[in-house]
Structure 1
């Protein structure tokens, strides 16, 4: 009987059933395998918007080189460089014409090497975008593929005959219109999930996969430290397009993503390339649920290391509309991605080049609360469980741009979907109002370095995208000169996090998850516990704590330099106040 009980217990444990006790959770999380990329804070640079070195109004690699010391002083660990490859710029570099060349506007391959070496000299790693779901239609492969059905490159892309005078099916492009475009002398259609100048690559073709592996080795042999993999969940396509005709396809990402051979392709990429290098990989895995995302990042599967979860960052989003959202709703999404099993490691981010500015969505960008709420969001970002990703300009509290007309936008997605949105019943005025909340171009306006002309981004008279008119107040120089600035608050938090295993690997436990104003949680490490209390509202709030937190030391807050201990179980929090406590 005793033997049978032991067998039953072993079966229960092996099923991974979650036990509803803090002790069991702590034990599970503390068995996580340590990796360098789990401990990093990554800073994304959008090169077109970071710093212009030659006065043409377009950011470039020499401009980034001139700001390496700034990045070093901030205290980040890794730079993620958005696409720098040769491109006709139908989608700002995500349409690649030559994977082994640098975009002429950005500089040269020698400039890239100088940037890489300069970062490495300061102990900062560099990861680059890997855009291998599609190429540019100006890439040599596509030009050959389009020329005839007999060309050796024909099957590098996905070609299908039309149905009478119509495309093969009614799939929509993410950027508006059909996902099919007719081209070439035989009149067939090629597939493009994005712009028509971004034909999708055919991963079924083994020779294409070998070509991709070679270009990956080219950059890894240069010394880059990994890849951010653009729309990686889309590389495996359905096998029979005739059976996939969907009427009124509102969210195509859920049809297009996680195709039948995705795991096979990722395992093969890992075996042939990634396993040979000590690098990090993070996939843009939009279009799948949590279960699917966890499968591609499970360390036992040997696919990729990390994936971006979009549920929290897109809270309240419904396609092209930003709806209201509640703090409890947001907290539950954060908890879901933080509470993954010991074979996965989460990422945490609130903004990037495809989302609005962090303080404008999650904080309060009014003059009264912009600085305070930006600091609060810094604490939220840098005390979460997972590899943290920051976006350029968030460390100085850059805000959304006040767009007043459609001709101020650059984004191909906005232009391509305009007719579709208006046809759906929106007015130009309501669409513009929605874009002022969620447009991608908010994050792409030039970095604000100073209060000089064009925010110190360029010495020229023009910029490729408008500079936010609030640059005289919101800029790097002002932040550097003010010891109480957002920038210096980020520095302090980054210093607290760096090498802190208790904060990096500690368990995440939410407190008062249904509280409408306060976001509070603990990070339970082996030696210390951290308590984070955030008042995410513009009202003063009284918040009650368990008596077990009595005696915890306040090590940083966003309002002053006070370092008191918790003496009572009730805290009075000022609007947008953020506090980080540490156990004795």
Structure 2
């Protein structure tokens, strides 16, 4: 098995295991109830022991937290509640000393309404240059320029004191930037250099498909807008071809460094459109959320894997695999939900968990499938993205009281949507204590009593724990992962079986009855075997 070393290889990201940290919910060093950078620094030994290759750090910039930090006041500063630039430098050094890369979130579609540019725009008169950095339009009296809806519900337009309207595809506190403006483009190139110069190894690009927009008159009505998945560049707001000119400029900057800085696009677009975001002269890689959205079924998983490996091969990138993140219901919970004909529960929609009891979750089934899923995912060619707490088998916290909710989706929908807070509850480190080891002053989102049983402390000495499974899997993967290919081994219609170079085999049983294992040594399994048989909802690695 090869040792883990921080590499200058330009292609390090192609097969990397990346661990997402939502900084406000990871570890709190000063007891204010909010996670911070020094808290993360203190847990670097834990991350090193886990065996990851990189950390993806969600926004840590100054923010009013109108959208969990994705409303950014200043792209080249740190929220003082989370730390300082010196703390970021210390985190980079600590991670690099542990042979772990750092990827940071960049949010280019919108700023916060407290950003210096937007403050200047509101203070300036209509038609002034300051307003040109954003998207201001005249409406019809009290009616906005169009009837477009924001992602978080309600109108996508907000009115200013002087009667103009500005576009916000998310919360009203997140005004959209005008990416036709040269100052906007130049400023973000400066931001890329700022963080790259500080040792950051890559960038995760938030809503990468939203930057370019067509607001020519007459604006189409909401009812006539095409579905993004079917628009193929024709939607006025999403996935327009002009966005790739922006990312070609970004790639030129990222390639100034040795090794070149990596980038991955969050782009909710059809698979055939995803390739351009992941091109070598663009961002280089794009998130593939297809497994996250797939039901726990043999046919769905095989189709997703085949299609995405083919796409990655066509454009010379590598695929990404992910089951959970800060925007969706944790997959250990999703996989324990009853079958939903609409597919929305499996689509990760957090607001469908309206409370702690509806819909009913089979916790044992969900965890068994989640353990099987991660072994399958880690056996695939490409990079794997993990979300903090999934290595503990954490369930979604569906019982948060309304008074503790923070997600704008909950407020803008007037409570119709629960929002994403249930997957953002601070993770448990210890069996007991005020906040299960998160910090000395409680936690900004309430942790349930059952959290202690999922804590790092509870699982450390248990060789059968989910934490132990992740650690073993990542260590074994490092010695086996090679190349960008797999070969299917066809058999029954409910057993997903493939081989990798070097004789590595991964077998997942999606059926209800145990199946015979091949005559080979079992390296690791997601659950107990039944003699020489693989039980239902279980994955095994063999060699």
Q: Which runs of 4 or more aligned residues in structure 1 lie more than 6 Å from their structure 2 counterparts after TM superposition? A: none
Distance between the aligned counterparts of 2:226 and 2:215, measured in 1? 21
What displacement does 1:359 show? 1.1
Distance between the aligned counterparts of 1:404 and 1:122, measured in 2? 36
The SS at the match of 1:312 is helix
Distance between the aligned counterparts of 1:234 and 1:188, measured in 2? 22
Distance between the aligned counterparts of 2:489 and 2:519, measured in 1? 20
Does structure 2 retain, via aligned residues, the 8 Å contact 1:402–1:468?
A: no
Distance between the aligned counterparts of 2:254 and 2:303, measured in 1? 37
2:133 is matched with 156
Q: TM-score, normalization: structure 2?
A: 0.86
Farther off after superposition, 408-417 or 39-48: 408-417
Residue number among 221, 228, 234 corresponding to 2:197 in the alignment: 221
The SS at the match of 2:373 is helix
1:483 is matched with 463
Q: Are residues 81 and 293 of structure 1, via their aligned partners in 2, closer, same or farther at CA, if it must alter by over 3 Å?
A: same
Establish whether residue 336 from structure 1 lines up as the match of residue 310 from structure 2: no
Residue number among 236, 248, 251 corresponding to 1:270 in the alignment: 251
Establish whether residue 177 from structure 1 lines up as the match of residue 154 from structure 2: yes
Provide Cα deviations, 1:274-328, integer angstroms capped at 9, x if missing partner. 4545221011011x101110122122xx001111122331236xxxxxxxx7442
Does structure 2 retain, via aligned residues, the 8 Å contact 1:338–1:508?
A: no
Does structure 2 retain, via aligned residues, the 8 Å contact 1:445–1:468?
A: no
Does structure 2 retain, via aligned residues, the 8 Å contact 1:159–1:188?
A: yes
Q: Are residues 329 and 373 of structure 1, via their aligned partners in 2, closer, same or farther at CA, if it must alter by over 3 Å?
A: closer
The SS at the match of 1:247 is helix
2:341 is matched with none
Provide Cα deviations, 1:34-62, integer angstroms capped at 9, x if missing partner. 82111211000000100111111111111
Aligned runs of 1:248-327 on 2, under 5 Å?
A: 255=235, 256-277=237-258, 278-286=260-268, 288-299=269-280, 302-315=281-294, 326-327=297-298
Q: Are residues 560 and 252 of structure 1, via their aligned partners in 2, closer, same or farther at CA, if it must alter by over 3 Å?
A: closer
Listed as ranges, the gaps of 5+ residues in structure 1 are 1-32, 317-324, 422-430, 565-570
1:21 is matched with none
Distance between the aligned counterparts of 2:147 and 2:118, measured in 1? 23
1:449 is matched with 429
Distance between the aligned counterparts of 1:228 and 1:105, measured in 2? 22
RMSD: 2.6
What displacement does 1:355 show? 1.0
1:558 is matched with 526
Provide Cα deviations, 1:413-435, integer angstroms capped at 9, x if missing partner. 1221237x5xxxxxxxxx6xxx5
Larger Rg: 1
Distance between the aligned counterparts of 1:349 and 1:470, measured in 2? 26
Does structure 1 retain, via aligned residues, the 8 Å contact 2:254–2:262?
A: no
The SS at the match of 1:153 is helix
The SS at the match of 1:42 is strand
Residue number among 95, 120, 128 corresponding to 2:104 in the alignment: 128
Establish whether residue 540 from structure 1 lines up as the match of residue 523 from structure 2: no
2:383 is matched with 387
The SS at the match of 1:531 is strand
1:470 is matched with 450
Provide Cα deviations, 1:138-161, integer angstroms capped at 9, x if missing partner. 100111122223543221101111
Q: Are residues 157 and 412 of structure 1, via their aligned partners in 2, closer, same or farther at CA, if it must alter by over 3 Å?
A: same
Distance between the aligned counterparts of 1:508 and 1:142, measured in 2? 53
Listed as ranges, the gaps of 5+ residues in structure 2 are 1-8, 338-360
Q: TM-score, normalization: structure 1?
A: 0.80
Distance between the aligned counterparts of 1:197 and 1:409, measured in 2? 17
Distance between the aligned counterparts of 1:561 and 1:480, measured in 2? 22
Aligned runs of 1:32-71 on 2, under 5 Å?
A: 35-71=11-47
